[in-house]
Every structure is written in C-alpha cells, then in structure tokens.
Amino acid sequence: MKNLFSLEGKVAIITGGSRGIGAMMARGFVENGVKTYITARKKEELDATAKELSQYGECIAIASDISTVEGIEALTQEIMKQEDKIDILVNNAGATWGAPISEFPEAGWDKIMDLNVKSPFFLIQQLLPALKAAGTKEDPARVINIGSVNGLSYSGMNNYSYTASKAAIIHLTKHLAADLVKDNINVNGIAPGFFPSKMTAFVLDGHEEQAAASIPRGRIGSPEDAAGTAIYLSSRASAWMTGNTMVLDGGQIISAHK
C-alpha cells in the first residue's frame, strides 16, 4: 500500500506546461520520478520552465502549436522519436475570451472551442497507440483533461465560449472514458477553481485577499493542490476510477447557493 501513489519511471506529456496549473503539475510529476514533456507555443518561456524543473528530475521542453491538427501531428511525431509509450497525457492547454454577448466575435468563439475541445480530442487520437502500449489491466495509461468550475456552474463573467468549451470537455471526458476503458486507458478530468495563472490574473491582480475570502477554504489554489490531484489521477491509487471530473475549488461550487 505504501507505493499506491508512486509514479517512478512513468512518462508524461503536459500541454500548456510552461506556466500556471500546467507548470504546477509538471513540477509534481518531475519531483516524483516522471520523465515529463512540457509543451507550449512560447519557446523562451517553455525552455525557462523546463530548465527550472530539471533541477528536480527530468523535464523536456518541446515548443508546439496544438491549435491545429498539423501542429498536433508534429508534436506527436517529435515525442514518438524518443518514446514508444506514454503513460500520462494531461490536456491542460487552454485559452479564454470575454466580451458582451451583443459584441462577442466569431473569432472569440472558434479560437476557444478549437483549443479547449478540438485539440485535446485530436491529441488523444494521435497518441492512442502510445497510450495503449503503456496501459495494463492493473495500471492503465491515464488521460487527464483540465476542465473548469466554469464548465459546471454560472461563471458570472461574459466568457461564453470558455464556459461552453469547459462543459464540453467534461462531457467528452465521460464519452472517451467509456470507449477507451477496454484499451486500458483511464480518462478523467479536473475542474479547477481559482489558481494563480495568466487566465485569472485580471481577477486576482491586486485583489488576492478578496478572492481568497470568497472561497470557503479561505485561500486560492496552490501548486500542491494541482500536483497532488494530478498525481492521484496518474497513480495506482486511482486505477479503478475513470470517466469522472474532480472539482478542485476549495468548496466554491458547493457553497455558491447556501
């Protein structure tokens, strides 16, 4: 039982791994013996994160643009030159867009839906042989899709395509889990609340205490919260769980209508 949460020797890919929740999860993996590939568009920022995390273990940066199927294929080919199996795929890369409903542009709809929903699906598709090769009946390969509490409840903001995309990825997680369970691949999700990231910077900037006070647990999310949940979903401890999305929000949703 003492090794239930061990990830030693596994191989992981984290999209959007250069900052925010992606970097938090990457550090948790690296420090626990996972060979971790992180990918994002901005090479300089990505390389800096990989260099920082490499002091704790093995972290490899591969710059890519997964907003297109061509970019997804290029990333997959690059990784498969070095690996024959992938134990863990974390679909974390995402974006948001805000505008009043009367002004919301088509570009703000298509960009967000493509990156937040289409890209994870086609990355899973491209990596399916490598995930199948890693999974066993006792310890399946893992896909972790990063949703959001905004995909489960009213956001209070004008981020229409973002909330739609996160609701979609949560349901897609269930669908994929049902289809891939026979291939020894578990598909689960995480729906984070407030964590420090570029996406939440406009809310948290100068209002950290106010934001923390609005959360029942009295603080915003920490790196340990993100890493711990990802480690659980990637370890033997969760081998019998698939098709679920874990809400990681300090009690925000359950307390919203008290």
Give the catalytic positions in this structure. Answer: 162
Side-by-side strand order, sheet with 88-91: 59-63, 35-40, 11-15, 88-91, 141-146, 185-192, 245-248
CA–CA separation, 230 and 51 (whole Å): 21
Q: What is the DSSP letter of 63?
A: E
- For residue 200, what is the enclosing H or E element? none
Helix, coil or strand: residue 51: helix
- Amino acid occupying residue 21: I
Give the rounded distance of the alpha carbon of 37 from its chain centre. Answer: 13
Triad 59, 60, 64: Cα angle to 5°: 135
